[in-house]
């Protein structure tokens, strides 16, 4: 029988291995830089970033948006970012049109050409996130995908796909996603600050 301490050690070792794999993967690191550049260009020209995901990825979507519209590390003006996470919208659209449409319909309502969609799905196949990416392409909104599966549906729809090498389970993928999100925020803050100088 595995002890609880062994479970802790195994979880930490798996998390370390996933992070080590990301640390040596320059292709993914370059995609993170490209994703930040797409977002910075949009924001510099009056665009905004809309984000979405399901479950833990929805929480990551909200975390990303609030760090930009609120504060991360620097005292600066708020940055235009919105998580598509309004529960009344989601229950209304889920009830009337189906859960697959909750993000695409929100995007169609408030998204504009020149905005960016951050589409988070560990599997790369979440139907409502894929539908949002499809709608984004119709609207002239760039798509940044954050996923754990290469060559997935969301990757094929994305302008930039950040695929983290998380391992067998979604929780390891999500642990890398929050690191990527914090790096994106740091790059966005720095990019906008340098543009003002």
182 is in an annotated binding site: yes
Q: Is 67 annotated as a binding residue?
A: yes
Is 10 annotated as ligand-binding?
A: no
pLDDT tens readout for residues 134-147: 999 999 999 999 99
Is 123 a known ligand-binding residue? yes
With a cut of 50, list the residues of the chain below it in pLDDT.
none
Phi, then psi, of 78 in degrees rounded to 5: -65, 150
Q: How far apart, in whole angstroms, are the C-alpha atoms of residue 28 and residue 162? A: 6
pLDDT of residue 197: 63
CATH 3.30.479.30 applies to domain 4-196: no
Dist CA 55 CA 128 (whole Å): 12
* pLDDT for the residue 72: 93
With CA atoms as reference, report the closest residue to 35 among 125, 141, 119, 159.
Answer: 159
194 in a known ligand binding site: no
CA distance 12 to 30: 26
3 is in an annotated binding site: no
Q: Which run of H or E residues covers position 131? A: helix 127-139
Q: Is 55 annotated as a binding residue?
A: yes
Residue-by-residue DSSP string for 24-38? T-HHHHHHHHHHHHH
Residue 151, marked binder: no
Q: Which of 91, 82, 131 is nearest to 111 (CA)?
A: 82
174 is in an annotated binding site: yes
The residue assigned the tokens 């139907």 is 127
């Amino acid at each position: 029988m595995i002890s609880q301490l062994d479970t802790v050690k195994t979880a930490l070792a798996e998390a370390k291995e996933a992070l080590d794999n990301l640390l040596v993967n320059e292709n993914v690191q370059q995609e993170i830089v490209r994703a930040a550049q797409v977002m910075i260009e949009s924001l510099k020209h009056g665009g905004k970033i809309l984000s979405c995901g399901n479950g833990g990825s929805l929480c990551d979507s909200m975390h990303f948006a609030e760090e930009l519209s609120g504060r991360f590390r620097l005292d600066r003006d708020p940055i235009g970012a919105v998580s598509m996470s309004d529960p009344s919208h989601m229950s209304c659209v889920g009830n009337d049109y189906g859960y697959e449409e909750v993000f695409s319909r929100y995007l169609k309502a408030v998204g504009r050409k020149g905005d960016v969609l951050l589409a988070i799905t560990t599997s790369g196949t979440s139907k409502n996130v894929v539908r949002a990416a499809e709608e984004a392409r119709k609207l002239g909104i760039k798509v940044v995908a954050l996923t754990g599966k290469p060559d997935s549906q969301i990757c094929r729809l994305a302008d930039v796909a950040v695929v983290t090498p998380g391992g067998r389970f979604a929780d390891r993928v999500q642990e890398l996603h929050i690191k990527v999100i914090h790096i994106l925020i740091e790059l966005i803050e720095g990019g906008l600050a340098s543009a003002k100088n």
